[in-house]
Structure 1
Amino acid sequence: MDDRLYYQDAYTRTFSAQVTKTGVEQDGTPYAVLNQTAFYPPGGGQPSDLGVLEEIRVVDVEEVDGEIRHRLEAPLSESIGEVTGHIDWDRRFDHMQQHAGQHILSASFLEVVQAETVAFHLGKERVTIDVRLDELTADVWEKVEKRANQIVLENHPIIARFVDDEELATLPLKKQPTVTENIRVVMIPDFDYNPCGGTHPARTGEVGMIKILGWERHRGNIRLEFICGWRALRDYNQKQAVVRDTAKLLATNEGELIAQTERLLAERDTLKAKLAEVDKQLLEVEVNQQLAAASQLGHSRLIMCTFTDKTIQQLQQFAQLATALAPDAICLLAATTDDKVQVVFARGQEVNVAINQVLKETLPVINGKGGGNPAMAQGGGQSIVDAEEVLLHARKLLEASLM
């Protein structure tokens, strides 16, 4: 492991190395292999490092058949034998914070509620762990989070090193290693001992605040989302800005923000109820006007209208009210937009016609689809003919059916 500088010193940002191999991946991406590297390949839930080799951007790093491939934005010059590499330090240190934070949080769950961590993922914005728990209460997560942050503030050393079988047997490991050689253990003395190949800071204080953001049930366990360090500060700043700006918009202070929001929601619900009542009254007026102006079709009254300002739900409400007020009524309604026609057909209880059959024979006029029952049916299609023509076609079908 001497060629892996990130194990010798996780704080290495710049290094020199000999190019031992170059090549091209199947997708055309050039890569280089070095005699030593500080670029960490992905493993154990931690993503790879990024950075540059001789000013050429390293877009990915992966260990393939025992060699670490540095995938590049452009190929290295064939004349280059030695290169200088620069790690994207902000990314590296962020991963060090989040990974060490995971160790601390997982150990805190074990200590507080004897809950084992069974999965870990370090994402670009959030970090998750899956904890073997049936449920998680606010009381438990607050205790776990407090214990984790206590470990951070106590600024314990974080020791990461390779151990032999003899030493390994003496360590109180929280889980068993998944490899049988080159076993590396990350230790926070008297608190956590875990086999791990990731990069970590030298002391717990560098992890910064550990903040649990939320959790959900996942495959019989609890999946927690959390962040540490600089991520936690950025998250706090963003949320503080939202709270501050929202309080300003609502002309209140932060302490009254919830109460003011509840008042506004109550006012909104009251206004929605009043508006619904007004809409109902307006609909009744409109329906009664259309019933009064309806034409006769046999023993039935026919309302045939097109609209440009109604949704199909509003057409349905119109038809339901009209046929309820007038059991002898038939409604042929259409709503149009630039490229679509929606129709609702309905009939009252005293009308002996299967309105869904009328719709079925009308929809081909607009290449449409729809369905319903003998009393009401609806559908939609393309605006390839005027809505009035669609309704006239339906009227002719009605006339034939009623005769």
Structure 2
Amino acid sequence: MKELFYYQDSMMKEFSADVVQTGTDDLGHYVVLTNTAFYPTGGGQPHDTGWLNDIQVVNVEKVAEEIRHYISGNVEGLSGTVTGKLDWARRFDHMQQHTGQHILTAVFVELFGYQTVSFHLGTELVSIDLNTTEVIPEQLAEAEKRANDIILENRPIETKWVTKEELAQYNLRKDVSVDEDIRLVIIPDYDYNGCGGTHPTSTGQVQMIQIMETEKMKSNIRVHFICGSRVRKQLAMRKNVLTDVARQLSVPEKESGLALAKIMQTAKQTEKALSEARDALLVYEAKDLASRGEVIVSETYENRTIQELQKLARFITTENSEAIAFLVADNADKLQFVAARGTDVSESMKNISSNVLPLINGKGGGNDALVQGGGEKIMSPQALLEEMGKALSAE
């Protein structure tokens, strides 16, 4: 393992090696080389991609003692000596994020004694899980500043292969999980950690760490962050969004938050007024329906929500305590209904729903006084009303 190109020189972008074997497994066509700078998936770090000659490498995995380069083309075109070229933007991004994780993890131990229990390097965000139930904003700010100070000092990053017996010479952040081929990644006088991943040669190459958010994960706190070029991309994205919001609000960018808050408050007030107006119209409509003097008030509608039907049915039965309301709405590809009774009516509306729901392959709920349900549009709204009336007569 020590002789692998990605361990000998993590900054190697291109190399030559001989083809040892080609084959196919469950992951696809693969090539095994005499040596490689392509890092395989492992240790929380994703695999490299790139090219062998002009054939794209889409995945790299370690299988037993082989490092298999999975390609998108035909393996028959690869033999003899080939040239490997990494997708360097991807590799360097992974090195920035992975090294940033080492630094941030060490900072949380240094400042607060919080250990990292897991690490995930995603395509957008990186995360560590800390063995604590709470991290306050002031701690996050302090940790972020300390991590960026370590980066700014441009400390060297060293790697060293040691034996299990030699481990006692180093103040390891956590115990290593292997007994041989032990590789340490070291920021001298600061962090000593067993790691098989790739890292740049100095902390300055990480460029910057930005903590994005935290979330509770069982008994731990998950900290999401980004490093290096991802910070610039996030800043550019957020700048574009802020500029667009400010333009639409016709205010300077620094005032867009306050302007948006005012608009949201106005929108809430408008929505409340609209809701009150809709309820007033429903009351008026209910009084009109109840004024017919019918014992059973039945009506069909198009594109009316179940909530509106419920309110309308309640208003009708409040207006006339002896009334029963059967309301059906034709909503897109489904039928929905409400059945309600006044306080002077003894029949249970649950019997209505239990009789008509099977007819439309529907589901519903409610109580003796009011039920609601919906199902497939396999009959007309008027036919469903008639079935509700039959169910009442049968009762």
- With over 3 angstroms needed to count, the CA separation of the structure-2 counterparts of 1:347 and 1:78, relative to structure 1, is closer
- The residue number in structure 2 matching 1:5 is 5
Partner-residue secondary structure (3-state), 1:173: coil
- The residue number in structure 1 matching 2:247 is 248
- The residue number in structure 2 matching 1:355 is 349
- The residue number in structure 1 matching 2:14 is 14
Equivalents in 2 of 1:6, 1:79: separation in Å?
21
Equivalents in 2 of 1:241, 1:369: separation in Å?
46
Range that drifts further, 253-262 or 239-248: 253-262
Equivalents in 2 of 1:318, 1:75: separation in Å?
68
Letter in 2 for 1:255: K
- What's the offset of the Cα at 1:165? 5.1
Range that drifts further, 41-50 or 74-83: 74-83
- What's the offset of the Cα at 1:144? 0.6
1:307 aligns to 2:301 (yes or no): yes
Partner-residue secondary structure (3-state), 1:342: strand
Contact 2:176–2:194 (Cα < 8 Å) also in 1: yes
Cα deviations by residue, 1:69-118 (Å, 9 ceiling, x for unpaired) = 11121232277221111111011100110111011111111111111112
CA RMSD of aligned residues (A): 1.7
Equivalents in 2 of 1:11, 1:267: separation in Å?
55
1:277-316 alignment, distance < 5 Å: 277-295=276-294, 301-316=295-310
Letter in 2 for 1:377: V
Partner-residue secondary structure (3-state), 1:310: coil
- What's the offset of the Cα at 1:127? 0.6
- The residue number in structure 2 matching 1:383 is 377
Cα deviations by residue, 1:230-278 (Å, 9 ceiling, x for unpaired) = 0011011111111121112112222222222222222122112211221
1:191-340 alignment, distance < 5 Å: 191-295=190-294, 301-340=295-334
Cα deviations by residue, 1:118-162 (Å, 9 ceiling, x for unpaired) = 211111111111112221001111111000000111111111122
Range that drifts further, 382-391 or 13-22: 382-391
Cα deviations by residue, 1:196-232 (Å, 9 ceiling, x for unpaired) = 1111111111101100111112131111110000001
- The residue number in structure 1 matching 2:132 is 133
- The residue number in structure 1 matching 2:362 is 368
Contact 1:326–1:348 (Cα < 8 Å) also in 2: yes
Cα deviations by residue, 1:166-202 (Å, 9 ceiling, x for unpaired) = 6533222212222111211111111111111111111
Contact 2:144–2:209 (Cα < 8 Å) also in 1: yes
Equivalents in 2 of 1:294, 1:80: separation in Å?
92
Partner-residue secondary structure (3-state), 1:77: helix
Contact 1:360–1:371 (Cα < 8 Å) also in 2: no
Letter in 1 for 2:58: V
Contact 1:330–1:347 (Cα < 8 Å) also in 2: yes
Partner-residue secondary structure (3-state), 2:75: coil
Letter in 1 for 2:178: V
Partner-residue secondary structure (3-state), 1:345: strand
1:38-49 alignment, distance < 5 Å: 38-49=37-48
- What's the offset of the Cα at 1:395? 2.1
- The residue number in structure 1 matching 2:169 is 170
- With over 3 angstroms needed to count, the CA separation of the structure-2 counterparts of 1:369 and 1:170, relative to structure 1, is closer
Partner-residue secondary structure (3-state), 1:97: helix
Cα deviations by residue, 1:19-49 (Å, 9 ceiling, x for unpaired) = 111111035x111111111111122111111
Equivalents in 1 of 2:301, 2:50: separation in Å?
61
Contact 2:351–2:391 (Cα < 8 Å) also in 1: no
Aligned residues: 395
Letter in 1 for 2:138: D
Letter in 2 for 1:363: L
1:24 aligns to 2:29 (yes or no): no
Equivalents in 1 of 2:173, 2:390: separation in Å?
80
- The residue number in structure 1 matching 2:119 is 120
- With over 3 angstroms needed to count, the CA separation of the structure-2 counterparts of 1:338 and 1:145, relative to structure 1, is closer
Equivalents in 2 of 1:105, 1:180: separation in Å?
26
Contact 2:290–2:319 (Cα < 8 Å) also in 1: no
Letter in 2 for 1:70: H
- The residue number in structure 2 matching 1:298 is none
Equivalents in 2 of 1:306, 1:104: separation in Å?
66
- What's the offset of the Cα at 1:363? 2.9
Equivalents in 1 of 2:174, 2:149: separation in Å?
23
- With over 3 angstroms needed to count, the CA separation of the structure-2 counterparts of 1:35 and 1:353, relative to structure 1, is same
Equivalents in 2 of 1:332, 1:5: separation in Å?
77
TM-score by length of 1: 0.94
Equivalents in 1 of 2:16, 2:387: separation in Å?
82
Letter in 2 for 1:316: Q
Contact 2:360–2:379 (Cα < 8 Å) also in 1: yes
- The residue number in structure 2 matching 1:68 is 67
Equivalents in 1 of 2:20, 2:393: separation in Å?
88
- With over 3 angstroms needed to count, the CA separation of the structure-2 counterparts of 1:71 and 1:376, relative to structure 1, is same
Letter in 2 for 1:313: Q
Letter in 1 for 2:30: Y
Equivalents in 1 of 2:266, 2:78: separation in Å?
74
> What percent identity do the matched residue pairs reach?
44
